[in-house]
Structure 1
Amino acid sequence: MEINLSDFHFLRPLWLLLLPFAALLPLLWRRSQDLQRRLRSNIAEHLLPHLLITPKDQHWLRPVHLVCALLVLGSVAAAGPTWEQDRPDFLENRAPLLIAIDLSPSMDANDVQPTRLEAAKHKLHDLIQRRAGARNALIAYAGSAHLVLPPTDDPALLDTFIQALSSDLIGKPGKDVGAVIDQAKRLLAAEKTPGTLLLITDGADTSALGVLDKKLDNSALQVLILAVGSEDGGIINDASGQPRIDSNGRPELGSFDQGALKQLASALDAPLGSLTLNNDDLDWVELHARQHFQAASDEQRELHWKDAGYWICWPLLLIALFSVRKGWSLNWMAGLLLAVGLGLQPAPAQANAFTDAFFTRDQQGRWAFEHDHLPQAAALFVDPYWKSVAAYHAADFDLALASFARLQTPQAYFYLGNIYVRRFKFDQAIAAYTQALKLQPQFPEATANLALAIALQKDTEDAEKNAPEVKPDEIKMDKAPGKGQSKSVQTEQAASDEQWLQNLSTSPAKFLKQKFSLQDQAGAKP
């Protein structure tokens, strides 16, 4: 391993103050063992050499020397020697990606089979599958831009919303890339990390290119453009798959303006690629996203250095092992008192004596949480937030609800809202999401879930209002006793149950269309 001496320094240099004490320790011990010096005040100095018999010490290594070595190595390890900048593990993972897909009518052109939009959706399905574990967000745009889903590492959830996209979800015509960039910058501000915006489109509005470069000033956002379509364009089909007819009675064509896309790429200083039949376009996207993320992170790593002190723990353990020798003794009272003091700290019910001796309850809980032992993690955690999160993921919603209710943080209110939605308590869920957004206005997940809770509450109320009032089945009897038989009169109960269930269910496409329409009416505010 090559060490650059010009970069060598200590992360916690105050620990080096133990070095002078460690160096003086053998001298102080030798001074304390000097019998002549101690008797000098009681016996004449010229008689001492003749009265004392001091056998020659055959041992050159004493416990004090090992203590000195332990202090020296321990202080150096605690000081954190470093000479190499640290690249966290997550930098080796794929970069966060914000996907913006064009939903203007031209995306229904069939020059790319079956349509440009369907081809793009199929390509996005492959992209998020190969990026499993990385965070991806979804934005839909035409004449306005709308957040479909905030950054998430759940590919199944993201794919559900991708497949629900269609060109009729946004009623405002156009291709407003500026609004997309604004949405992406808000998401990155909440994520507090550099990221990449992938624009999937078949054209651009050249009249609005002049202000786009200013939107990216001093931004950690990189833009990639993936073009969909051919230069010849294609016929736009309607919802039934039939060609759309323009005012002149001819099939309407979807334009593909390569020149406009090149101007857009130049204005944004963005690489321009095109949809391919193989995976070359996906490799291109991932390469650019990863390179940008690593480059931007390198610029922010001035204070992040790799702590090499833990390597010294191995010689420390070796010295501690050799210090346990027959006939050797040290006054370990100070260390014993410290260990007893640490052991008397209050802790919940023990799990394992060995692990309790070396790991805190929160460390044990974190290990259990990361290895999907969620009920065990909820029992181990002392930290109230992590205990609540573990209980939530373990589906112990009673414990999670009680724990989150004691916390006054945006994340706690967000999880409270999720629990209330699962229990169909939409009023309480809306109140919890609203409180989370009051404490943290830039909270995309809470914003999305609040909209969903409002939509679910509205659908439930509408379903209850529209459900027909059906009386229980009636049994009619003949008035004349002894004549005829009882006859049940069946009502349309089964049909009403089916209608109620249909009213209650809301498809992602219907939800998105209502959401986009409301946002456009309110000025497309997030």
Structure 2
Amino acid sequence: MTGILIAIEMFHFLRPWFLLLIPAAALLWWYLRHRLGHQNLPTDTVAPHLLVALTVGQQRKGRLMPIDLVAVLMVLTSLGASGPTWSRVPDPFVAQTAPLVIALHVSPSMQATDVQPSRLDRAKQKIRDLLAIRAGARSALVAYGATAHSVVPMTEDPNVLQPYLEGLQPDVMPDDGNDAGRALDLANDILADEDAPGGVLFVTDALQSSDVAGLSSQEQISVAILAMLPQGKGDAGLDAVSVPVAQVAIDDGDIAQLERALNAAYRRALAEDGKQPWDDKGWILAWPAALLVLLWFRRGWTMRWSMVVVLCFGLQIPGGVRAEGVADWFLTADQQGQIAFDRKDFTRSAELYLDPMHKGYAQFRDGQYPEAIATLSQLDTPEASFVQGMASLRNRGYRDAIDAFQLTLDRDPDFPGAAHNLVLARKILEYVESTREQSDTGEHTGEGADDIVFDNEDARGADTQIQGREDSIGLLTADQWMNTVDTDTGDFLRQRFAIEAARQ
């Protein structure tokens, strides 16, 4: 189901009683129209041939009149006041993109060069583009041939997938084949641990007829296929499957199309989730109403109606409205902040937001951890204290993080992630304090950063700074150590896939 169909299905009015004003506006329009169009003329006191010459406007009965404009404005006002909506307000703590498992077909056929530079290389490029679009969303990678293997589990960091994606070549697979059914079963197992409906994207150049029914019958998840075939070349299985199939393109049109299709079930789940309020879209109708108001400046049209509208709008303008730029004429500071946040411009978003919750979260995303903690301290919600805890962790204030996560649980014992992060913060603090105690006994000297300072509220060990030893002999530098590590992910995947295939 597409996003438009979901919006139509979810469409409703938040304040439907305002719709009762529409019949009243229609009745008023009919009465005044009828009255203006059937005025009785004094035929008994004026000669007929003079009456025709002296009467103005009788030829305009069927043309547009001021009352028509008033009626349209009343209808638009009623619709806007009724609160039309078809989506919920985005939750800044929840990714607006569905969890996705990318199933890449790795086989000799994918090395064909009819799609430059090759089908497999172009598939990897497309996957990288998709991960860039889905920044911040949870993604996993599966490789399949005759067998299916989990390459990278669900992660929010697309950089984790990059080296493993590059290491996928046909020679790392235990056997050649094209068993999409096994890949689908593995993807379902991965998505079973997710809190929201997810999707599976198959990147392949062919589909066996035996797998068509399995892919077409999925109801709980969204399935889509990126066909790595040149234009004009088809595949019987890809042509028969009843899921969205996008032909690989030279631009990002195929990726955008698949992203919309895969998010369909997730958007439905977010809309059906009762935690977030519905997003009132009535303001959209203010634009056509404002354009229609301009017609009142035509000569001969009623100006007293426009004065009433101007006065009504003037009474509703709150104090302290900014007018520093053109954007301030049309958008509030929080709306501008949300636009900047959607563009990943967190610095600008933090400057624009007035709402403390959104401002603090934007500061957190921008790395302004002390500022985020100070901003969120104004609120007493579990969401605010949770982000405070995350900011304290990033700022190495582990005790403050523990206090913040504990406060979150006090406010909402079931808040997602708070209990887990509380345990994690305690473990980190315990590790830091243990490291300090070991440093007092001389263990691990010469290792670590050039200058590390820890808090010592529990008085465990001494307040020390660990200085890097420049005269250490026999210790490898970071670059030297990294050069000794085997970075060929292909060899690693080949061995792991062989072990998994043997177990299967």
Normalising by the smaller structure, the TM-score range is 0.3 to 0.5
| Largest Rg, 1 or 2 | 1
